[in-house]
Structure 1
Amino acid sequence: MESRIATLEVDMKYVRRDLDEVRDDVRVIRDRVGSIETTLAGMSARAEAGFEAVDTRFESMESRLDAKFDTVDAKFEAKFEAMDAKFDAMDAKFDAMDAKFDAMDAKFDGSESRSDAKFKGLDDKFEAKFEAIMAKLEKLDAFPTKLQLSLWFGGAMLFFLSCTVAIIAVLLRMMGHTDLANVVEAVRG
């Protein structure tokens, strides 16, 4: 009976020693988990600051682009108004020429066959010129609208944002934060 108690006491010493080792291991694990939580909190704060910086830059770029669009729009408007003035002047010249041709018709009533042939040629030339001017005017209508420009700008911004997120993921991988990089890539899709 005495030997059994001695064996139990020895076994209890080993159990006690093993429990002490387990307790120390649990403390080390607890400390490591605490440092990981601190590191993750710091990374989260830095990522949030980075996202806010990206948002600020995006808003700045958007306002500058809006200002540039307004400037370009004003320039186009000024050019179109100048062209309208030139076309009005051309219309006045054409009206003056029409008046001259009417006077010439009155003078040459006696020689209708010759004058008709000449006027037919002139009329064809003016018609060709007028059609060329109308073709140029139709080309002016082919400029993109503000909506199209806005959609193009939105697509470009999405592309740049996607590139920025990819760069952030690469930088995180380079810094040894592969898990966070995987999260960023998963969010990016």
Structure 2
Amino acid sequence: MGEEEAVASPAELQFEGRLKIVQYPDPRLRAKNKRVNTFDESLKKLVDEMFDVMCRTDGIGLSAPQVGINVQLMVFNSDGEHGELEEIVLVNPRINGYSRKIVSYKEGCLSFPGIYADVERPDSLNVDAQDITGARFEVNLTGLPAGVFQHEYDHLQGILFFDRISDEVLETIRAKLQDLEKKYEERTRKPSPEKIDARMSRNKPVGFGKS
């Protein structure tokens, strides 16, 4: 398993005001996400606010780092569809196993507004996680819900969806990524923490989000 995971303090689950979506290339999207060991009112408040953000932005999954809080937490619509919401909270999720069948979906991301690209992922997987009370549970996901989960799980590993696409597909969205980098520099008056032009042809992450 490697080195022991850092644990988030109760204060790291707290926030003021309304949460906002963090956009690429904000460094919080690449930061280490700490394990949650505190299951209290602060966590419930954070989860409620994340569901609110997800619904306001027509999302079907949202990870904590996407709202600037670097902990291992995601909220998720297990139906994988807009409209009727089947809310599921996954704290400290882990992938137990996944199918050999690989499917391709055109993925978008709230942290990459207006950008979509084809990403290949396993069609089904088994997930172990904790709920909002800290109780452990397992869930099997297939099809679109499996893809949504893997996208959000990647966020908890500091992996962004364009890390998993081919160089050919990357070329179709390179200009839009550059535009987000420029907007970040204009907004923060700081150099972009990463540049898509620095990505040479390289291997994609291995294991579909497994650490």
RCO higher in structure (CA 8 A, sep ≥6):
2
TM-score by structure 2 length? 0.15
Larger Rg: 1
TM-score of the aligned structures, taking structure 1 as reference length: 0.16
Which has a greater percent of strand?
A: 2
